[in-house]
Structure 1
Amino acid sequence: MKASLLGIGVVSVLVGGGWARPQAQGSSRQLPVVDLDYELYQANSFNEDRKFYNFSNIRYAAPPVGELRFKAPESPAFDRSAVRTGSEGKICPQALPRWAGISRVWLTDYITRGVIPPSLPSPGDLSNPSGATLLSDPRQTEDCLFLDVLVPQDVYEKPTTRGAPVVVAFHGGGYTYGSKADLGDAYGLLNRSRVVGEEIIYVSINYRLGAFGFLSGPSFQKNGIANAGLHDQRFALEWVQKHISKFGGDKDRVTLLGESAGGGSILHQITAYGGLLDVPFASAIPQSPAWFPTTSPREQEDQFNDLLREASVPAGGGVDELRALPTADLQRANRRDVAASPYGFFKYGPSPDGFFVPADPKTLLNHRQFARKLRILSAHNTNEGLLFTPPLNSDADFQGWARNAFRYAQPAVLSYITDTLYPNRLDGSLGYRDQVARAALLISEAAFTCNTVGLSSAFSNNTYSYLFSTFPGLHGQDNGLTYYVPGQRYSGGGGDTYIADFPVNETAAFALQDYLVSFAANGKPDSAVDGVPDFPMVGEQARVLDVGNSAIREGRDPASNDRCRWWQLQLQN
């Protein structure tokens, strides 16, 4: 295995992105109280070593339970009877596909030795390190719409007239699992913002997941709000606009940060309502933005009916019957429904609804139906699709997998994908030498990398982008740099599926954190690390900052190709 130079610290490569956050150190000092109008919140802790306040588990919306289940978020109740401390952490109901327990069984051998098992391995014990532990987590509750605010001491106690830049982080997890607690220890970002020159405030949020947050379709939408999880995110961003100045923040310098489903969520926020409404943020950093472009009304309807069956709703029943179910029963149905997802997929995610999501984001970007006055820094990795690819040994295996993955595509379109875009040519000329790599490239481009190319193109390539090419370049691997803290070992959180440990290049981590926080502060990515290059704008030459094993250098985006132009035009529908 090829190690990065200067590697200190270890990153666990995970499906969907997410890292465990250690508890902040406590303090005996008097902790401040923020008046949010509807409630009073006291900082949960002050970290004496790191010098920041942690305001934990702030309610930003009413509990989405009872009649509010499957509806847009509403404002919290007015209750100033006590000072809240946010000591009790809560996460939204979680669900994992069965294949998540299979990928870790064989992928390490494939990555390090090129070994492909002759058949699909058994799932193994999902309780270690995710699986059953995640699904039985007692923090799970429908009453989960909370956020955290980390504020440097000087920003809070000595606020400037302008206020500090704000980074709002959306977690990943395939839109079915994860929480704000799984993003990582944000101290690395906060500390590098001090080095670069302007400290940031860091906000992380929960949003509804799986069937609770991403049901859609004609029947469901008669009495339910589609893409409720996206509405939750927007509601949290409006909360930031209203309240972040009370923490010392600048509401006009809000940057969204998210990887995988978090990055895909950001693209849906950029294209929300077809760009007809102002957006409550100024900049966006979508890393490996993920969603799969198979969201026809027929598919959405089938998905809704699958859940009704899993929930044992009688024939003729619908949203009202689901709304009346006890939480435990709906959670059970959601877990079973997601568990049966085809290999590499998570069953739920954003879908066109004619309202918040008028069409697939790539279509909206093509038609210039998006928020245009934004600054963009996007990212993708060299091997995004491998974590979501089953062990395939023949062209017949590949064709069968593709038919299942694109089961709603017209036969001619499916044939074009498998025989023209990704033909059975295993000589390396197209970037793959076996069926696994062939399928991984397809998934990479269909669900991840072409999304970043489409975004840059929509902004006339006046954007920034980095390519994470450090071996093995897996999806989520760069999160180890984004949330790097010296001496800290990252471990799987939020149900992510452990694959392997790879060393973290500290120089690259500090440089990347500098680029991210300086971009959030002033729209231009710079670094205080000696010897690293200026961050190029994408431009017509498709330039990217290549974060490689031994160096950070300027390069050309390999996703700027004819296949991505085909995906960008949404020709598969």
Structure 2
Amino acid sequence: MFARLVALASLAIGLAQASTPLPTVHLDHATVIGLTNNSVTSFTGIPFAKPPVGNLRFRLPVPVAGYSGTINATRPAAQCVQLAQDLRADMPAEIQTDIAKYLATILMPADVPQSEDCLTVDVTVPEGTKAGDKLPVLVSIYGGKAVLCAWVQGSTAQYPMDTVVRRSAELGEPVVVVAMNYRLHAFGFLGGKEVKNSGVANLGLQDQRLALRWIQKHISAFGGDPTKVTIWGESAGGMSVGYQMLANDGDAEGLFRAAVAQSGSPLPTGDVADLQRAYDAIVSRVGCAREADTLQCLRGVPVQAIVAAAGTLGGQFSYQGTAGVINWTPHADGVFLTDLPQRLILKGAVARVPLLSGDVLDEGTLFATSSFNATTDADFAAFVHDFSFPGAPAGATAPLLALYPDDPARGSPFGTGAADALAPQYKRIAAYQGDLVWQGPRRFFLDAVSGTQPVWSYRFERETFTGLGTPHGSDYYELLREANDMADYLVHFTHALDPNGAPSNRTIGWPRYDPVRRQVLRQLAGDVPLDVADDFARLGATEALMNLTLAYPL
């Protein structure tokens, strides 16, 4: 409380000394104070839910009842508690060098404190926007930190939206951008039968949904139009967009009218009760195993004890025969996702809104770097079975060995021949992982919905890095850095529900996607930055993968 009083006192001094008043917005009985910088006004860290602490931990988010007093929205919002996902320390030097060169191009935020009390939104608008302007609203759902650590790291502070908002004003199509924080790893995606039976699974997705309801209630005060909301995300954020389209059996509840998913589609996961091993491990490690109500016991455990326990379960870069990342991925829970994601898609339980969805060329390379110790055909077979399909009979995954052959020229990075073979099975595993997690789910989703709603797809091949090709996240970071041609499509889509017709000379006609022609917009380097290509590469392999996941969900 003392720190908050000091912050408000400092803010008051700043207001008194400022040559021009700081921007303000009124919410209920509160005055929200923001900052303007380089033609963009931001209001950061506005709570949309009560702090999910104490007895509210591991419960559905509770909306803020109302606002009063003064809200200092001039500083970065606290990040939800993060879970470290370090690269393997024993990676070969060449792999570490290649990854470091890519990470050097990524916007890295200043250190921002972490807290369980983190359910806040940031609102960014063109300077001068006022209540009643009714601008279309673009809602940003973040992915993992440095786009690598899905569902366990990430925050609004890591992905500033100033460049997109500024570009929208330059185009004459201004938008309001809202970014939300949501709970992560064990706090947001704990599984197990206890969690399912209590109706408190997929809390991170529930947080996102509540933020969308907050937008409906309050965005008009910032100059936004609650009837013109587009949800947008990349990586885990793109997957979240897909899950929001599946929520409530496809009823968007008027919360959004369009969707944009970059490098992320609903994953073919199973039931949340299947994650019992992770739940039991955490309960045991924090000393709750003997309690009659283990979930209630977890609500009283120190936050760092839960983080430490979750950190023992492995992760995206710790492949040594375990699939730690699956522990924190959304699964069917009977509440938010009433059935397995793929079943919902096949049943047509999908929000029927216009959709943009695409991937980069080499989605799997970054994530394949940790499997450098797989050196033989037998190692690849074990990786496919143990990491992805541990519940399948051994013979069920055998056909995948031929579909993803031991031939570097057919692996990822694609189109580089024998080059970029950072480890004996690296390019093979990169091709497989990219198709299993990204290309296959995207095609499965788009094939199912393209007959009921307008759909456009893209493939980003513009930025290339030695060893990694065009890696996961490269399209998103270029958009945030440069407000590129994709930003023009994004802004215009938010206004018109069609990416075509953006008021700039940087775009070309973008054909709609269908399962027959499979035309995608391709983003390229060089004198021809955009063209139209097809999406048939490894189509038989991705179809085989998706059929396998129908029988044996991840």
TM-score tier (shorter): 0.7 to 0.9
Equivalent of residue 388 in structure 1, options 353, 367, 378: 367
Q: What are the ranges of 5 or more consecutive residues in structure 1 without an aligned counterpart?
A: 1-25, 114-125, 486-508
Contact 2:191 2:273 in 1 (8 A): no
1:406 equivalent to 2:382? Answer: no
What SS does the corresponding residue of 2:193 show, helix, strand or coil? coil
Q: Alpha-carbon deviation of 1:383?
A: 0.3
Q: Separation in 2 of the partners of 1:559 and 1:68? A: 47
Q: Alpha-carbon deviation of 1:426?
A: 5.1
Structure 1's 243 and 217: CA in aligned 2 closer, same or farther, altered over 3 A?
Answer: same
1:311 equivalent to 2:291? Answer: no
- CA distances 1:122-179 after superposition (whole Å, capped 9, x unpaired): xxxx9x999xx99x9671111000110011124327x44xx10111101111100110
Q: TM-score, normalised by structure 1?
A: 0.80
Map 1:312-351; keep pairs closer than 5 Å: 312-315=287-290, 318-338=294-314, 342-343=318-319, 346=325, 347-351=327-331
Structure 1's 311 and 42: CA in aligned 2 closer, same or farther, altered over 3 A?
Answer: same
Contact 1:31 1:42 in 2 (8 A): no
Equivalent of residue 379 in structure 2, options 397, 412, 417: 397
Amino acid at match of 2:181: N
Superposition RMSD in Å: 3.2
Q: Separation in 2 of the partners of 1:413 and 1:520? A: 47
Q: TM-score, normalised by structure 2?
A: 0.82
Q: Alpha-carbon deviation of 1:90?
A: 0.6
Q: Separation in 1 of the partners of 2:91 and 2:497? A: 38
Q: What corresponds to 2:5 in structure 1?
A: none
What SS does the corresponding residue of 2:281 show, helix, strand or coil? helix
Q: Separation in 2 of the partners of 1:306 and 1:129? A: 37
Q: Alpha-carbon deviation of 1:218?
A: 1.5
Q: Alpha-carbon deviation of 1:84?
A: 3.9
- CA distances 1:368-412 after superposition (whole Å, capped 9, x unpaired): 01111x010111011001111121322122123223312533124
1:29 equivalent to 2:58? Answer: no
Q: What corresponds to 1:421 in structure 2?
A: 403
Contact 1:60 1:76 in 2 (8 A): yes
Q: Separation in 1 of the partners of 2:395 and 2:378? A: 18
Structure 1's 325 and 549: CA in aligned 2 closer, same or farther, altered over 3 A?
Answer: same
Q: Separation in 1 of the partners of 2:191 and 2:436? A: 22
Map 1:58-137; keep pairs closer than 5 Å: 58-85=46-73, 87=75, 89-99=77-87, 105-107=93-95
Q: What corresponds to 1:147 in structure 2?
A: 121
- CA distances 1:434-490 after superposition (whole Å, capped 9, x unpaired): 6211111111111112222122222226311110012221000112222024xxxxx
Equivalent of residue 239 in structure 1, options 214, 218, 221: 214
Q: Separation in 2 of the partners of 1:110 and 1:359? A: 40
Structure 1's 285 and 297: CA in aligned 2 closer, same or farther, altered over 3 A?
Answer: closer
Structure 1's 567 and 371: CA in aligned 2 closer, same or farther, altered over 3 A?
Answer: farther
Q: Which moved more, 1:256-265 or 1:429-438?
A: 429-438
Equivalent of residue 564 in structure 1, options 535, 542, 545: 542
Map 1:22-61; keep pairs closer than 5 Å: 28-37=19-28, 40-47=30-37, 50-61=38-49
Contact 1:195 1:528 in 2 (8 A): no
Contact 2:519 2:533 in 1 (8 A): yes
What SS does the corresponding residue of 1:256 show, helix, strand or coil? strand
Q: What corresponds to 1:477 in structure 2?
A: 474
Q: Separation in 2 of the partners of 1:410 and 1:448? A: 21
Q: Separation in 2 of the partners of 1:295 and 1:341? A: 22
What SS does the corresponding residue of 2:124 show, helix, strand or coil? strand
Percent identity between the aligned chains? 29
What SS does the corresponding residue of 2:380 show, helix, strand or coil? helix
Contact 2:269 2:340 in 1 (8 A): no
Q: Which moved more, 1:223-232 or 1:404-413?
A: 404-413
Q: What corresponds to 2:484 in structure 1?
A: 510
Matched residues, number? 501
1:524 equivalent to 2:498? Answer: yes
Q: What corresponds to 2:139 in structure 1?
A: 168
Contact 1:170 1:258 in 2 (8 A): yes
Amino acid at match of 2:289: P
1:467 equivalent to 2:467? Answer: no
Return the structure number with greater relative CO, CA threshold 8 A, min gap 6: 1
1:454 equivalent to 2:444? Answer: yes
What SS does the corresponding residue of 1:194 show, helix, strand or coil? helix
Contact 2:27 2:218 in 1 (8 A): yes
Structure 1's 357 and 552: CA in aligned 2 closer, same or farther, altered over 3 A?
Answer: same
Amino acid at match of 1:139: P
Q: Alpha-carbon deviation of 1:83?
A: 4.3
Q: Separation in 2 of the partners of 1:110 and 1:435? A: 17
What SS does the corresponding residue of 2:154 show, helix, strand or coil? coil
Q: Alpha-carbon deviation of 1:340?
A: 9.0
Q: Alpha-carbon deviation of 1:354?
A: 1.3
